[in-house]
Amino acid sequence: MPKLRPAGFRNPYPAYSLHLPEGLAGVTMRQVAVQHRDDDEAAGVLAGVVGSLHGAHAPVTYEHAAHVDRLGYTNDVILAYWLDGDAEKSWSEEHPLGSWAAPELTAKGGPIGLWTEVLRAPADHFETSYSYDSPTWGLASRFPTVLNGCHSYPGSMRDRIPAAEDAGLAGEVDSVVQAAPADSAGRHLVVTTPGNLCFIRSPQGWKHCPDDERAWFEERVLPVYQDGVGYLAANPQETGCLSARLADLIVSNDDRVQTATLAWFLSLSHLERWAHSHATHLAIFKSAGELIARFAPDIHVTLGHEVYVAPEGGRMEYLNCHDRTGFLPYFPAQYR
């Protein structure tokens, strides 16, 4: 019995998780992004990034999302997954960040920025949860799902991560001060992050809902959700959320998915604190619960998440990106 599941607890609705093979060592997920203000200027660079994801050492799957950040830049983000860590490291050595754009495009004042953020999580450092039994986004494109009763109660996320039991996977850093970041225009910066940062990818989809359920979601749930993600993005010191990108899915393996939140927290505990007790997430939980109560058991809205805890410091790279990108405002950067 999971340690945090209340005695006699009954799940209010079914949820599913991936059935992973015993031999799976872990997962590497790398975000590679083109930052720009002009789609036409970025198109060729983005095509080069996508082209690099085929052939030797290619990821097992990838998808394309787009996020407009707080300074108005579009970030076309490729989310690529590897099940072989050595293959990912070989791929990253073969495709350095600057290889996708001509130097004049990433020079100071140039129109293109590039960034990449990577996480490497052993199999006992991540969990998945889905509102339906046949997801195909992210890792679910590679593995089947099984019904999972560890959901819908405080601590259920931790119960689904084997290494997180007994307060495991504590973060190395409890808080950050948002300082003046290094000047990144025309330069290649590298940030080494502390261990046990927590990353969540959380999708939403409602286009296949019946009209009444879709209208309910768009009018009563989606605005509350967007407010919550906006709060995370604007309040890193309070929430411990260093980056919260609400992105539209451009190319996905799952046509039920429309948007996704891509967020980094200082630790699993920081994500838990926001999810369990913060007013913005409690409002999300309340609005989603009202939708479930209204339309259960025949619910069509697509929800779920992947949650990873990266046990070692990550190498995050930024080339000609504005100085509020990713981890640049929080940790020391070195010029490459």
192-228 pLDDT per residue, tens: 999 999 999 999 999 999 999 999 999 999 999 999 9
Q: CB atoms < 10 A from the CB of 286, how many?
A: 11
Instruction: Provide the token pair at 305.
Output: 């998440």
CA distance 331 to 69: 19
What is the DSSP code string of 96-152?
-GGGGS-GGGSSTT-S-EEEEEEEEEEGGGEEEEESSS---SGGGGTS-EEE----S
Beta bridge pairs of residue 116: 32, 317
Instruction: Provide the token pair at 9.
Output: 């607890």
User: What's residue 7's pLDDT?
Assistant: 86
Closest CA to 207 of 248, 239, 157: 248
pTM, full prediction = 0.96
**Amino acid residing at 259:** T
Cβ-based neighbours of 213, under 8 Å, separated by 6 or more: 206, 291, 295, 299, 300, 301
User: What's residue 165's pLDDT?
Assistant: 87
**C-beta separation of 269 from 170 below 8 A:** yes
Distances (CA, A) of 183 to 188, 318, 322, 324: 10, 11, 8, 10
User: Which of 7-43 are b and which e, b meaning 16 or more Cβ less than 10 Å from the residue's Cβ?
Assistant: eeeeeeeebbbbebeeeeebbbbbbbbbbbeeeeebe
User: What's residue 2's pLDDT?
Assistant: 65
**C-beta separation of 322 from 207 below 8 A:** no
Work out the end-to-end distance of the chain between its first and last CA atoms, rounded to an integer number of angstroms: 49
Q: CB atoms < 10 A from the CB of 174, how many?
A: 11
Instruction: Provide the token pair at 101.
Output: 């754009």
Instruction: Provide the token pair at 69.
Output: 């950040």
CA distance 296 to 292: 5
User: What's residue 152's pLDDT?
Assistant: 87
User: What's residue 177's pLDDT?
Assistant: 84
Please tell me whether the peptide bond between 297 and the residue prior to it is cis, using omega within 30 degrees of 0: yes
Regions of the chain short of the pLDDT cut 50: 1
**C-beta separation of 140 from 61 below 8 A:** no
Closest CA to 334 of 211, 189, 119, 137: 189
User: What's residue 209's pLDDT?
Assistant: 96
